[in-house]
Chain A
């Protein structure tokens, strides 16, 4: 039956063909599966392993960028901080072995006096007198390594020179009342009046006799001592105690007592108290130091009572009358680097113990109960000198942190999580790619379509316009645009949109050319002539016949072009012309590698971004290649 049908079919005229609707022969056309061109393309595409690999890459990239941002616990521009124990140098400390001098108010232990004291003290530990300059000073021992220095204090100089007015110049650090200065000048003048300053004839070898001039002012006697060489006079006060020399130092535990530490009287009386305490034995036969009360007379004459708690020969704690420990007297020096640094008694003790034990670190429990660690660094290889460093916690931006379980790819220079930045950067990179591609294609299809369909002078005009666009240098243009946006301080988001617009406007010419060429050749095809012959309207001819035939090529072109656009965006961002902080793009993330340090040490910042770009572009190219092969009916693979 079927055979007959087939025979009939071959020789018959169409009118006699009776299609058998019920029975099918083996070679019946109805057995062949109907595939639309789209399905054929899809079938060919999914057979292409490379294209499937590309699709997988792209699916991963999209999931990574668009879902990753939702999953990631961190924000796009979330900055991470760390508390780093920055080894901050806090203070120098020293066990004092030399004498230090403390001047009384108005006293002045000059360099001459200090050196003379140091020279003499070794031979005469119980006190001596010495001459410095033209004055004599007396050193008096008050206790172990504790001396006072007395003598005349140089207050200033009365300068006498011919032709100039006699003037008084105060000595360094001295404040001399104007009236006293005037009295001194007057006394000198009186002296000068009695004797001419310069004899008319000066005989060689003859000694000019000069005498001290004394005068009284406000109940005190002052001496004007003529200098050896000139006609000047030095103004000296009455001999009195003006400085102490000691190996101890007073250190306040609290800010409010710091004034006392620089007070001469307090220092003298507290140290005297420490020196005067004698060891006693308690009932059990243990030696101990009894607490000694002492009185401090302030400058205003107010007497205050304090208690000295001696701990050893060179260390005592001063309490106020409420038995609160306020300061220490010891041979132990701490010079803080910062003026506001104060040490508590506990810290003080810990530090002292640390140095005494020659330790390199010591710990200290502060008032809040936290354990603070300090390092002791020996200074100048001297057992007595140390620098105290704290492990002080500093709140820092956690930049360039290595990968951890919290930050899988570490952090970047802004202290942001690199993985999260990559996710958000992927959004922007992919978005830029697609938006620019769509923009390019819209403009390109319109211009190319008009040009190709209408031809003639329209074509010529539009294509010359395309040539004009093509001759604009791309990168200089983008650099200029970037610079302009920089100078106008454009917001990062606006900048992103502008950049996409510029890239789209600069890039549509290729699409226009392809579309135009394709439409020009399609327009002459017989099936297009047939549509004209059958009287199909122009719009339908364009959208139903031309466009579907241009579409495959455009899809391939666009897919291939996407990779290029992403690369361009990455390049621009890398050069700092594209996406700006706080927005991220893969290119701008790689930008960090322009720093040599990051390049060599922080692979986790820029290598992943680079890999993502390479993979994405590769993916788009694979898919593009696959589409091209799939759309090409001659490809039988």
Chain B
């Protein structure tokens, strides 16, 4: 494999459009703009949280990164020089263990007809990561480190609870000794107490194996807990990207502000100053012109509906795509609506 570079993952202008087919001959009549111009960098051993509303393209980003759905344009570079879409099928298959994914639904992501030991060890054996005679012990070790018991190896997924299943999913990913794991809402299907266990498990594993996570979630508290950096997505666009402390302390984008205002504060005496967004998320098949958020933005001015905002570096790695912070956009000169 390539030499260990500082950046596990570099994403530049990633786009993913899904064609909309209609009519007798499945003519392409339009595209769903699931992901548009998403760029970020992930350093080794860090966790990036990816937040946003349902349907804003978070999961698509995760799957496109792993080439589980082919990207439309842009660059995805692992370990400084590996681009999945330029690999042959064989090379891709061999590189697969380095990049893993943990799915949202632990019930659907385990084959019901294989015992757990086989689910975890199968890919390890296929990729010859450990000698065959050590496989059993290896699987046991991985299971133990994921909070599973050795004797559960011969059981089938239907005999496990949701939290245990998610541990199995994590074990399956960890067993391949990956560099990078896309955690696609790994805790959203679980109840809160189990969520904490899984989050803690992920954190412990990160320390143990020096993992890099892309943590996709719509749960801001979880993201706040686990992430080092946070990206906020709206309708396929990354609207704000910054370090965790920075973004939670000083959210810049109006959407981020609205989103963060919804984080519940576990103190009944504190009056919450919630920003209620009006309207619903526009169709990604026919996104609004200019800033995609302008249809629901409180700060919307004329320029917002005309020109798509550029990504601005506000210093300290804080990126935001909003005309408010762009002196060149002429936002200040226009009247508020």
Could you tell me which A residues sit within 8 Å of B by CB distance? 13-15, 17, 19, 29-30, 32, 34-37, 525-527, 529-537, 540, 544-545, 548-549, 633
User: Which B residues lie within 8 Å of A17 (CB)?
Assistant: 144, 147
Q: Does B43 contact A (CB under 8 A)?
A: no
A526 x B108 contact (CB < 8 A): yes
A15 x B208 contact (CB < 8 A): yes
Among B121-129, B225-233, B326-334, the stretch that binds chain A is: B121-129
Distance of A548 Cα from B173 Cα, bound (Å): 23
User: Which A residues lie within 8 Å of B176 (CB)?
Assistant: 534
User: Which A residues lie within 8 Å of B151 (CB)?
Assistant: 29-30
Among B9-17, B92-100, B238-246, B270-278, the stretch that binds chain A is: B92-100
User: Which B residues lie within 8 Å of A531 (CB)?
Assistant: 111, 123
- With A14-B204, A15-B204, A534-B100 as known contacts, state yes or no: A526 contacts B93, CB within 8 Å: no
Distance of A527 Cα from B100 Cα, bound (Å): 13
Kindly provide the distance from the CB of A67 to the nearest chain B CB, expressed in whole angstroms: 35
A540 x B126 contact (CB < 8 A): yes
Task: Name the contact of A29 in the complex, choosing from B63, B95, B152 (C-beta under 8 A).
Answer: B152
User: Which B residues lie within 8 Å of A37 (CB)?
Assistant: 112-113, 156, 158
Kindly provide the distance from the CB of B38 to the nearest chain A CB, expressed in whole angstroms: 20
B201 x A14 contact (CB < 8 A): yes
A549 x B113 contact (CB < 8 A): yes
B126 x A530 contact (CB < 8 A): no
Q: Does B172 contact A (CB under 8 A)?
A: yes
B103 x A535 contact (CB < 8 A): no
User: Which B residues lie within 8 Å of A548 (CB)?
Assistant: 111, 113-114
A534 x B144 contact (CB < 8 A): no
Give 12 pairs: A residue, B residue, CB < 8 Å, sorted on A: A14-B144, A14-B200, A15-B204, A29-B151, A30-B149, A526-B108, A526-B109, A529-B101, A534-B126, A534-B176, A536-B122, A537-B126
User: Which B residues lie within 8 Å of A19 (CB)?
Assistant: 144, 149-150
Distance of A15 Cα from B148 Cα, bound (Å): 10
Kindly provide the distance from the CB of A372 to the nearest chain B CB, expressed in whole angstroms: 80
B145 x A36 contact (CB < 8 A): no
A527 x B108 contact (CB < 8 A): yes
Q: Does B21 contact A (CB under 8 A)?
A: no
User: Which B residues lie within 8 Å of A527 (CB)?
Assistant: 108-111
- With A19-B149, A29-B149, A633-B158 as known contacts, state yes or no: A544 contacts B114, CB within 8 Å: yes
Distance of A526 Cα from B103 Cα, bound (Å): 7
Q: Does B223 contact A (CB under 8 A)?
A: no
User: Which B residues lie within 8 Å of A36 (CB)?
Assistant: 115, 154, 156
Distance of A488 Cα from B228 Cα, bound (Å): 83
Distance of A193 Cα from B19 Cα, bound (Å): 134
Which of chain B's residues has its CB closest to A21's CB? Answer: B150
Kindly provide the distance from the CB of A11 to the nearest chain B CB, expressed in whole angstroms: 9
Q: Does B159 contact A (CB under 8 A)?
A: yes
Q: Mark B126-150, 1 if CB is under 8 A from A, else 0.
A: 1100000000000000001111011
Kindly provide the distance from the CB of B164 to the nearest chain A CB, expressed in whole angstroms: 9
Q: Does B167 contact A (CB under 8 A)?
A: yes
B152 x A13 contact (CB < 8 A): no
User: Which B residues lie within 8 Å of A15 (CB)?
Assistant: 145, 204, 208
Kindly provide the distance from the CB of A184 to the nearest chain B CB, expressed in whole angstroms: 111
Kindly provide the distance from the CB of A532 to the nearest chain B CB, expressed in whole angstroms: 6
User: Which B residues lie within 8 Å of A537 (CB)?
Assistant: 93, 126
User: Which B residues lie within 8 Å of A13 (CB)?
Assistant: 147, 197, 200-201, 204
Q: Does B105 contact A (CB under 8 A)?
A: yes
Excluding A536-B123, A540-B126, A548-B114, 14 further A-B contacts by CB distance (< 8 Å) are A13-B197, A14-B147, A14-B167, A19-B150, A34-B155, A36-B156, A527-B109, A529-B101, A535-B94, A535-B126, A536-B126, A537-B93, A549-B111, A633-B158
Could you tell me which B residues sit within 8 Å of A by CB distance? 63, 66, 68, 92-97, 99-101, 103, 105, 108-115, 122-123, 126-127, 144-147, 149-152, 154-156, 158-159, 167, 169, 172-173, 176, 197, 200-201, 204-205, 208
A32 x B108 contact (CB < 8 A): no
Closest 8 pairs (CB-CB, A-B): A535-B96, A14-B147, A534-B123, A526-B109, A548-B113, A526-B108, A535-B93, A527-B111
A533 x B112 contact (CB < 8 A): no
Distance of A633 Cα from B112 Cα, bound (Å): 11
Distance of A531 Cα from B93 Cα, bound (Å): 11
Which of chain A's residues has its CB closest to B169's CB? Answer: A530
Task: Name the contact of A534 in the complex, choosing from B97, B110, B115, B159 (C-beta under 8 A).
Answer: B97
Which of chain A's residues has its CB closest to B98's CB? Answer: A535
Which of chain B's residues has its CB closest to A19's CB? Answer: B149
Task: Name the contact of B172 in the complex, choosing from A534, A545, A633 (C-beta under 8 A).
Answer: A534
Kindly provide the distance from the CB of B118 to the nearest chain A CB, expressed in whole angstroms: 9
- With A14-B145, A37-B112, A537-B93 as known contacts, state yes or no: A529 contacts B126, CB within 8 Å: no
Distance of A34 Cα from B173 Cα, bound (Å): 25
Residue in B114, B115, B127 whose Cβ sees the most chain A Cβ within 10 Å: B114
Kindly provide the distance from the CB of B9 to the nearest chain A CB, expressed in whole angstroms: 15
Distance of A37 Cα from B113 Cα, bound (Å): 7
Kindly provide the distance from the CB of A321 to the nearest chain B CB, expressed in whole angstroms: 106
Kindly provide the distance from the CB of B86 to the nearest chain A CB, expressed in whole angstroms: 17
User: Which B residues lie within 8 Å of A540 (CB)?
Assistant: 122, 126
User: Which A residues lie within 8 Å of B122 (CB)?
Assistant: 534, 536, 540, 544
Kindly provide the distance from the CB of B183 to the nearest chain A CB, expressed in whole angstroms: 13
Which of chain A's residues has its CB closest to B201's CB? Answer: A14
Which of chain A's residues has its CB closest to B103's CB? Answer: A526
Which of chain A's residues has its CB closest to B155's CB? Answer: A34
Task: Name the contact of A545 in the complex, choosing from B68, B100, B111 (C-beta under 8 A).
Answer: B111
Kindly provide the distance from the CB of A547 to the nearest chain B CB, expressed in whole angstroms: 9
Residue in A526, A529, A537, A544 whose Cβ sees the most chain B Cβ within 10 Å: A526
- With A14-B146, A14-B147 as known contacts, state yes or no: A533 contacts B113, CB within 8 Å: no
Residue in B113, B123, B154, B208 whose Cβ sees the most chain A Cβ within 10 Å: B113
Task: Name the contact of A526 in the complex, choosing from B105, B150, B173 (C-beta under 8 A).
Answer: B105
User: Which A residues lie within 8 Å of B112 (CB)?
Assistant: 37, 549, 633
Residue in A37, A531, A544 whose Cβ sees the most chain B Cβ within 10 Å: A37
Which of chain B's residues has its CB closest to A20's CB? Answer: B149
Kindly provide the distance from the CB of A526 to the nearest chain B CB, expressed in whole angstroms: 4
Which of chain B's residues has its CB closest to A9's CB? Answer: B147
Distance of A544 Cα from B115 Cα, bound (Å): 12
B111 x A533 contact (CB < 8 A): no
Distance of A465 Cα from B208 Cα, bound (Å): 55
Distance of A34 Cα from B117 Cα, bound (Å): 13
Distance of A544 Cα from B126 Cα, bound (Å): 13
User: Which B residues lie within 8 Å of A14 (CB)?
Assistant: 144-147, 167, 197, 200-201, 204-205
Kindly provide the distance from the CB of A535 to the nearest chain B CB, expressed in whole angstroms: 3
User: Which A residues lie within 8 Å of B158 (CB)?
Assistant: 37, 633
A535 x B123 contact (CB < 8 A): yes
Distance of A189 Cα from B151 Cα, bound (Å): 141
User: Which B residues lie within 8 Å of A545 (CB)?
Assistant: 111, 113-114
Distance of A15 Cα from B111 Cα, bound (Å): 26
Which of chain B's residues has its CB closest to A545's CB? Answer: B111
Kindly provide the distance from the CB of B177 to the nearest chain A CB, expressed in whole angstroms: 12
Distance of A545 Cα from B118 Cα, bound (Å): 11
A525 x B123 contact (CB < 8 A): no
Which of chain B's residues has its CB closest to A14's CB? Answer: B147
Distance of A80 Cα from B205 Cα, bound (Å): 84
- With A19-B144, A544-B114 as known contacts, state yes or no: A525 contacts B156, CB within 8 Å: no
